[in-house]
Every structure is written in structure tokens, then in C-alpha cells.
Structure 1
């Protein structure tokens, strides 16, 4: 019997505080749960944001006026720092991780896609946790993902994942703004269910990230339509990943 596979996407807003500083305890809790899945023979791919914020922590004020170039520079500087964080934490659990950077073109059919499949399959076969992120240093315009939610969806499809878990800073998909006492969280959404009408009132945004709730809804429905159940849940909630795997009523589940 083949091992189950899960793709977990963690957004910038989950791993940073109000001052846009990387939160070490959040990363440790994330890795702790991935280690628990590993012990259960569940193979995990982590799609992680945060490189741009990590780069800003190192460089501080930047004199580059062009936003695209500034993002490239912050991300290029921040990637090693993020991987240093993850390498150290995974090492504490006796686990190994690897960085896999990609542009949207790498998922096009052909040689690039085959190379991506071989890379992920090779890493997973060796028990290495792939940490995926957009190659922000070179991906611009046509080669950019809309956000890391899209990257996570493409990776989930690429490796035939059993689940995609999108971690954000709210409990799930709401019928209104999450802070509105009259709005409620939807526990499950079918792909043909019209919930788009709730997006404008539920939109909360992603801090320094690019993907808001409208993007997450589109990605969640699209991925679920490919028979990969997808979850939107609060990444700062204790044990959230393990609880989802255990079938507890956490977040919002999108199904076909």
C-alpha cells in the first residue's frame, strides 16, 4: 500500500507577527506536526512563504525603488535564512529537508515537468521533506504564480497528493468578515456550491503575501475538483494539521 501524501502551504501571515518578523515558535510547531505525520508514514511537502520578509529582516531599508526588483532582492537574500530556520528545526527531529524552487513554467507539460516529478519523487523516496517556494529571484510576469496557493495546488496535483492544507490566519471560509459576529464558518464546501458571493465581505488579506481569500477560494475549489480534498484553516491554531489528518472539524473542507 502506497504512503499517503499531503501538501501543506503556510502563508506569510501565519509565520510573522504584526511587526513582520518571522515567528520561530510557529515554525517549530509546524515542523513538530510534520514530524508526527512522518512517524505515521504520511509523506509531506511543505510550501512555505516568508523569504521576502526574511530578506527584509536582513537588509532593513532598501534603496531600490522598483518593486519587482526589490522583491527579487529581498527574496534572494531571505531564502537562505528561511532554509536555515527549517534545516535547524528539522534536524532537531532527526529529519532532513530540501529546497525546491520553481517558476510556473516548470509545471508545463514536457521536460521541465518531468524533471519536477523526478525531483519530488526522489526526495520523498529518501524520506526528505521538500520545501517548495516560488523562485522569486527570477520569476517575473508570465513565469510568476498568482501566489503560493497556486504553487501548492500545482505541487499537490504533481505528486498525486491525498490532501492539500492551506494555512492562513483565520479559522476557515466565512459567510462574512471573520470578525463579524453574524458571520459563520462553513465547515464544508462543494465545488459546485456558490459561495463566491461571500468573498468580498470575508476578505481579510494576507499581510505581506499576495494571496487573499478570493485566491484561496479559487485554488481550493480548483484543487478539490481534481479529487484532492483541500482545507483552509488557521495555521496558528494548535495541532491544526494533525487534527485535519485525524478528521476533526477544523477549518473549511472543499470537496468534489
Structure 2
């Protein structure tokens, strides 16, 4: 593994819970393998990735589905604490198969405030990236409560993208992008480009989430995408289950919805 390699691009990829689970709400390891395969191929093209990965709560729930914790917040903390090492074991093993290294970076929202914590975060990310190590970031759910919580992992991904001066942020979900109607309707289609000034929120459909699923939704993704694009980081919302979705976006193919800043 090369050290202090110069990369053409830095990208941040956020993969949501709904991308990596099956209909029984269990982690599908082959999906993680496909994501890592793309990250590994991009690395060979001098593009390095920071991965923002959901899934820890679901991974914890898989082994603690029967428990006696009545408090929903504490239950989520425990699921996450158990699930984090399970997710990292998956990622470590898959990256190892490609001769690559990965590292876990947990954070709360306060870690991004100006000051020593933010400086430490920058030093950590820069150190990892300089050694060709793929950071895998997630919210520190075990200690992140109330004011120190992110709205969701989309917000965390945006903050990380800004922190490392990423070229691109890719938000992977289970739909093909932002639709101009209900995604299940035949007369609806994906809006391929959205400017930071364009109003598309009226197309968002509400959904009911089960416990253990991600906190974010399409409305959150649009808000985060616009804020990120306004900082000159082109942002995409795309289907994480689509073959080669990350590669296609980086290579400029017309995939998902691109959110950009108007000149």
C-alpha cells in the first residue's frame, strides 16, 4: 500500500440502512462487497473514498432482537454499541480481501464545532487518507444524545465532505434519485439535475420507518444535498443497489440526481 499518495479526487459516499438490508431487515453482506469493490477500483484510479456507513443499529438488533430494554433511546444505544463492531468486522474482512485497510471514525455533532475537537478530526482524517486507509465514519450513537446528535447520517456525510474538502458527496439510498412524483407511479421520472435554488421538496413522499431503520428520508437528503452543493461540493442522490453506481457517478454518467450550485 502506497504512503502519502497524491489523489486526483476525494469523494464521500454515504450508504443508508435501506441500501444494505433485505426484506427481513437483515444486513446483506454481498451488497457491502459490491460497494467496497467500487471503492477499491476507484482507489486504483487515484480516487480515495471516505465511507459513511449506516447499519450498526440493524446489525445490533440482529443479535439482540429479544431484549428487556423498554427505553427506546437506551435500546438504540445498545443496538448500536453491539452492531458497530459487527459492521466493522464485515468491512475489515472485505477490504482485506482487496489488500486495503480501513479504520473506524466515530463522532458526535460537537466534534465538528470550531476548536480542538474539529482540529483533531481533521488531523485524523488527513493521517488516514495520507496512508491510503479508508475511513469508515458513523455517529457515536452510544454517547450521542440530544444536542450532540446529527439529524441523520446524511448530515454527518455533509460535514465530513466539508471537513476533508471533498470533490463529491454521494448519498446512496434505495431509490434512483429525486422523482417528479411518487416513485411507484408510471408517469413519474427521476429529475436528473437540481440546482441549489430549485424547489423540488413538493415532490417528496412521506414514509413510516420501523425501529432500527435510518432516521433520514428524502426531504433530509435534499436539504443536506443543497447545503453541501452550496459549498462547491457537487452532490448526488442515487440508488445504492444499482450496479456500479459509485463508479458511474465518478465517471460522469447520467446516474441519480445531481445537485449543483448555480454560478
Q: TM-score, normalised by structure 1?
A: 0.97
State the distance in 2 between where 1:251 and 1:121 align. Answer: 29
Instruction: Report the Cα offset of residue 177 of structure 1.
Output: 1.2
Describe how 1:1-256 pairs up with structure 2 within 5 A: 3-199=8-204, 202-204=205-207, 208-256=213-261
Unaligned runs of at least 5 residues, structure 1:
none
Is this contact kept in 1: 2:172–2:240, CA < 8 A? yes
1:97-130 Cα deviation digits (max 9, x unpaired): 0000000000000000000000000000000000
1:122-155 Cα deviation digits (max 9, x unpaired): 0000000000000000001000000000000000
State the distance in 2 between where 1:205 and 1:10 align. Answer: 19
Partner SS, residue 37 of structure 1: helix
Is this contact kept in 1: 2:7–2:48, CA < 8 A? no
1:4-51 Cα deviation digits (max 9, x unpaired): 100000000000011110001100000000001110111110000000
Is this contact kept in 2: 1:205–1:213, CA < 8 A? no
State the distance in 2 between where 1:70 and 1:79 align. Answer: 14
Unaligned runs of at least 5 residues, structure 2:
1-5
Aligned pairs, number:
254
Report the more deviating stretch, 206-215 or 229-238.
Answer: 206-215
Instruction: Report the Cα offset of residue 203 of structure 1.
Output: 4.0
Partner SS, residue 14 of structure 1: helix
Is this contact kept in 2: 1:13–1:206, CA < 8 A? no
Distance 1:197 1:176, change over 3 A: same
Partner SS, residue 186 of structure 1: coil
Partner SS, residue 76 of structure 2: helix
State the distance in 1 between where 2:193 and 2:207 align. Answer: 20
State the distance in 2 between where 1:169 and 1:16 align. Answer: 10
Q: TM-score, normalised by structure 2?
A: 0.94
Query: What's the RMSD between the two structures over aligned residues?
Result: 1.1
Is this contact kept in 1: 2:7–2:47, CA < 8 A? no
